[in-house]
Amino acid sequence: MKKEDIFDNYKDYIMPTYTKVPLVFTKGKGSYLWDIHAKKYLDFFPGWGVGNLGHCHPKVMQAVRDQVSKLIFIANNYYHLPQAKLAKEIIYRSFPGKVFFCNSGAEANEAAIKFSRKFGRGRYEIITFEDSFHGRTLAALAATGQKKYQVGFEPLPEGFKTVKFNDIEAVKNALSDKTVGIMLELIQGEGGVNVADKDFVLELRKICDEKNLLLIIDEVQTGLGRTGKLFCYQHYGITPDIITLAKALGGGLPIATMVVKKEIADTLSPGMHASTFGGSPLVCRAALAVLKTIQKEKLLSYAVKMGDYLFGKLDTLKEKYPLIKEVRGKGLMAGIELNIEGKPIVEKCIEKGLLINCTHDKVLRLMPALNITKGQINKALSVLEEVLKGA
Ligand SMILES: *Cc1c(COP(=O)(O)O)cnc(C)c1O
C-alpha cells in the first residue's frame, strides 16, 4: 500500500480522534525510527512515554517471542507464572502491597478511583489538580483538571474537587468529611511538565495520614525510570498509598497496574473489579523484561547522568534564546516553556528528522529513551537550536 492509500484508509475508516502528523513509520530500533520512504528519524518522544527502553528493545522482543510460542492469553480466573513473577517484582521495587493488572493508564486510574470509593465507605471525594491528566474514561476525565478535555462529555461523574497545583492552602480548603483521597502526578506531563514541590508533597502525605485519606500518585508517565528513579515518588521520601503505572511498563505492549499498600489491599474482594485482558502472560513477560533491563543495564543511574547532561545543554540554550521562558523537569523528562507557540517548532524539528512533542501550547516536551547516548542528545539539541534560531 502506498502512503496516500494509507492516509485514505485512515480518512475513510478510522475516527478522526487524533491530530496526526503525516508520517508512516515502518521500523524502529532504539531511539531511531524509519518511515515508509526509509527516512531515518531520531525519536526524542518515543511512544508518548511508552518507549523508556526505546523501540523494539531486544530483551523485550526475545521475551515476547518466547511467550507467544507458549501461551498468549489465559483468563484471570486461572493462574500463570508471568503474572505471579511480575507482581512480586513490582512490589519488591515499590512498597509492600498488592497489584491489580489492567491495560491502560486511564483504566489503572479508574481502578484507583473505584478502590477509593470502596475504601471510603461513603466518603468518595477525591481532590485533584489543575492541569493534571489522568486519562479519557469518564471518571479519569472527571479527575483531569483540564476543561478542554471535558467539554461536551458532561455530565461527568461526581466526586472530584480540582484545586491549584502546589497550593497546600487550596487543598486544605477543599477538604470535607466526604474526602477520601488526593490524586496527583508528581510531574504533570500533559499539563506542561510541572514539578510538584517537595514541601507540598510532604504536606499532602501528612494531611492524608491525619485524616485517613489515600494519597494516590499517578505514575503513568513518570514511572519506570523516567525521572531517574524507578518511581518518581522515590525522589520525595514518601510512600504513597496507591500508585498507578502504565505507559512504559510493557515496553510497547499494553499493560497497566494499580499498586495498593498492603494494609488496605484486600478492600476489593472477588467480583468487585476486573479486566479481561489485564495482566496476560504475554504482556507480563514483556513487563518483566522491561524491569530486568532497567536493572541490568543500570538505566536509572544512567538516566540521571544523561538527564544532567541534557538539562545542562538546555540551560545553555535558554541563556542564548530569550524565546525560551523556562526549562523544567527531572531525569529524562524535560519541558521547555517558550514565549511562542510550540507547534511550528515541533513541525520544523520533524522536517529535520527529530521527533519531539509540544504540550499545553507552549511547552516543548523531550522524553528520550533512558538508554539515549550523549551523541544523540548533541544531535537533537543541535537540530532544536537550528530551529529556534530561525523562529
Ligand atoms: C497517558 C497518561 C494517562 C492515560 O493513559 P492511557 O494509557 O492513555 O489511558 C494517565 N495519566 C497520566 C499521567 C498519563 O500521562
Structural domains for the chain: 3-56+298-390 (3.90.1150.10), 59-296 (3.40.640.10)
Mean pLDDT of the region 152-178: 98
Among 220, 242, 360, say which to mutate for ligand 1: greatest number of ligand atoms within 8 Å of CB.
220
Among 110, 113, 221, 226, say which to mutate for ligand 1: greatest number of ligand atoms within 8 Å of CB.
221
Q: How far is the CA of 291 from the centre of ligand 1 (A)?
A: 19
User: What is the structure's pLDDT at 93?
Assistant: 98
User: What is the structure's pLDDT at 328?
Assistant: 98
Mean pLDDT of the region 358-363: 97
Q: How far is the CA of 240 from the centre of ligand 1 (A)?
A: 18
Q: What is the pLDDT of residues 91-111, one digit of tens each?
A: 999 999 999 999 999 999 999
Q: What is the pLDDT of residues 194-249, one digit of tens each?
A: 999 999 999 999 999 999 999 999 999 999 999 999 999 999 999 999 999 999 99
User: What is the structure's pLDDT at 303?
Assistant: 98
Model confidence at 373, in pLDDT bands (50, 70, 90)?
very high
Nearest atom within ligand 1 for CA of residue 106: 9
Q: How far is the CA of 44 from the centre of ligand 1 (A)?
A: 18
How much is the mean pLDDT over the chain? 98
Q: How far is the CA of 165 from the centre of ligand 1 (A)?
A: 18
Pocket of ligand 1 (CB under 6 A): 49, 104-106, 109, 133-135, 185, 189-190, 218, 220-221, 246-247
Mean pLDDT of the region 38-63: 98
Nearest atom within ligand 1 for CA of residue 246: 7
Cell numbers standing for residue 329:
523537569
User: What is the structure's pLDDT at 316?
Assistant: 98
Q: How far is the CA of 70 from the centre of ligand 1 (A)?
A: 30
C-beta separation of 388 from 345 below 8 A: yes
User: What is the structure's pLDDT at 34?
Assistant: 98
Q: Whose CA is nearest to atom 11 of ligand 1?
A: 134
Pairing type for strands 214-218 and 242-245 reads parallel
C-beta separation of 131 from 191 below 8 A: yes
Rounded-to-integer distance, Cα 99 and Cα 196, Å: 25
Model confidence at 168, in pLDDT bands (50, 70, 90)?
very high
Model confidence at 364, in pLDDT bands (50, 70, 90)?
very high
Q: What is the pLDDT of residues 240-285, one digit of tens each?
A: 999 999 999 999 999 999 999 999 999 999 999 999 999 999 999 9
Q: What is the pLDDT of residues 328-353, one digit of tens each?
A: 999 999 999 999 999 999 999 999 99
pTM, to two decimals? 0.98
Q: How far is the CA of 166 from the centre of ligand 1 (A)?
A: 21
Cell numbers standing for residue 223:
514511572
Nearest atom within ligand 1 for CA of residue 105: 5
